[in-house]
Structure 1
Amino acid sequence: MHPDPQRQPGPPAAHPSAAPGYIPTQQWHGGPPPNPWAVPPAPVTPGGQPLAGFGDRLIAYVIDSLIVGLAGFVLACPIMIFAVILPLTRIDEEGRLGAGTIVLFLVGYAALFVLQFALSYLYFVEYQLRTGQTAGKRVMSLRVQPIRPDQALDRRILGRRYLVQHVAGGFVPFFAWLDGLWQLWDKPLAQTLHDKAAETVVAKVVQ
């Protein structure tokens, strides 16, 4: 039976499940249907290891801060005694401090300042250089790694991290907060500002 040459083709049939106002956006061409509830894959480093989460990094930072702070307190006690407490006993009857006592005060405070930065350098650079881990990172199974998988972690890289995290963070108001929180919105590697300066990432060590 030949088709009627005068019959015009009608509009295409509507999608069987289309509701009023339905506009098809894409066609499914076979294979397993997409799952809208699927959990997206966890972010990984360029070397394929899972990235450390914000919570893990925060706990590791708190542990490290307690260790450095406790060590600094123990070492600072003799300085506090000889450069701060003992000079207070030299106040004269009029409540004045001599020039030598004031100089001793200033030297003591400067020594405390240098001691704190020296301890943090030894801990976060020299100690971390061995394995890419501090004590806090080891507890939380984290490790600092260069972004490039073929690059080794060295003193220069950790030195840049130290300068941004501890030196800039110690002198610039609110910078330490911005530095630590930056990883929350940084994509795709969840880097802090000191990670970006040193071109590093923090990976979760898979046991």
Structure 2
Amino acid sequence: MSTNDPSGPEPEGGGKPSFGKQPPQQGGGTPEGAPSDPYGTPPPPGGPGAGGPGAYGGTYGGAPGGQGPYGQGPYGQSPYDRPPPGQGPAGYGTPGGGPVPGMPPLGTWPNRIVARLIDYLLVQAVAVLLILPFASLTDRSGSAGSFWLACGLYLVYDGVMLGRDGQTLGKKAMKVRVAMLVDGNTPTQSAAWTRAAVFILPAVLCCAVLWWLIDGLFGVFDKPYRQCIHDKAAKTVVVSTT
């Protein structure tokens, strides 16, 4: 029979193995110099919690330089954020500046009006020269024909010139040009012809002087881009070239 007593002390180095037993450490049971809080260990540089890359290419914590997780700048702000019209620095959405950053200031009313008069007189002179061999300007039919011809010529003249570089001869002389409101570029062909048609066709169908007065006064009271009705229709704006 065995004389081993299971309730007796285990022999040194034998018997059941000990699991999870470690020799006592100085400093409260943790390795010397390590904090007792297992969650207080600072993350390694560039690791999680330090703004470094995560396991899937993202970032943890705050990105350096106050940037958000997508490189947009401080949270809640995007590099494409722009102040609303009428607010912000000069040169953007203000009466004295262009509608978009980098665009020149808006064209002044005296320059715009004189530019229109120059263009109209030039086109009217051509119309008179073309109609003189066939009718007298002293007759009602001759003067009406001259006006109708001038309107047709002006429609073509305005549409072609604005679609080319945003300037007619009158606008070149007065140092203003027509630009797309959204980006300041030269008007598209559709915008150029829409602008010319809205300026001319109602004048032909109704009272020319009354329509041009309404169209012009609309731009005087329009804020902040001083757009006349024909500018609203074409989504254009008149800016200075100086």
- TM-based fold match above 0.5: yes
Deviation at 1:143, TM superposition (A): 0.6
Q: Structure 2: which amino acid aligns with 1:142? A: V
Alignment correspondent of 1:141: 175
**Partner in structure 1 of residue 149 of structure 2:** 115
Partner SS, residue 201 of structure 1 = strand
By how many angstroms is 1:201 displaced?
0.1
Superposition TM-score, scaled by structure 2 size: 0.53
Which residue is 2:124 aligned to?
A: 69
Q: Report the aligned-residue RMSD.
A: 2.9
Using the alignment, how far apart are the partners of 2:227 and 2:184 within structure 1?
Answer: 19
Please report how far the alpha carbon of residue 63 of structure 1 lies from its aligned counterpart in structure 2 after TM superposition.
Answer: 0.7
**In the alignment, does 2:100 pair up with 1:46?**
yes
Paired residues of 1:54 and 1:183 also in contact (CA < 8 A): no
The alpha-carbon deviation at position 151 of structure 1 amounts to: 5.6
Distance apart, 1:42 and its partner CA: 1.5
Report how many aligned residue pairs link the two structures: 147
Confirm or deny that 1:203 pairs with 2:223: no
1:109 is displaced (CA, Å) by: 8.3
Aligned pair in 2 of structure 1 residues 109, 138: CA closer, same or farther (>3 Å)? closer
SS at match of 1:46: coil
Post-superposition offset of 1:152: 4.7
Unaligned 5+ runs, structure 1: 1-38, 86-104
Higher helix share: 1
Quote the Cα distance in structure 2 between the aligned partners of 1:164 and 1:201: 14
- The match for 1:175 is 211
AA aligned to 1:55 is P
In structure 1, distance between residues paired with 2:95 and 2:153: 39
Instruction: Using the aligned pairs only, state the percent identity.
Output: 29
Residues 158, 147 of structure 1: alpha-carbon distance in 2 compared, 3 angstrom cutoff: same
Equivalences for residues 1-207 of structure 1 within 5 A: 42-47=96-101, 48-80=103-135, 112=146, 115-149=149-183, 152-173=186-207, 174-206=210-242
Q: What SS is found at the alignment partner of 1:70?
A: helix
1:124-170 Cα deviation digits (max 9, x unpaired): 01133221100110001111011111765222111111221111123
4+ residue runs over 4 A deviation:
108-114
Change over 3 Å in CA distance of 1:49–1:77 after alignment to 2:
same
Q: Is the 1:79–1:112 contact (alpha carbons within 8 Å) kept by the matching residues of 2?
A: no
- Letter aligned with residue 241 of structure 2: V
TM-score using structure 1 length: 0.62
Q: Is the 8 A contact 1:50 1:203 kept in 2?
A: yes
Q: Deviations over 1:47-93 (max 9, x none)?
A: 53200011110111111111011111111112216xx98xxxxxxxx
Determine if contact 2:162/2:187 at 8 Å carries over to the other structure: no
Q: What are the Cα deviations for residues 90-130 of structure 1, in whole angstroms up to 9, with x where unaligned?
A: xxxxxxxxxxxxxxx98x88865653233112210113322
Partner AA of 1:154 in structure 2: T
Q: Counterpart of 1:7?
A: none
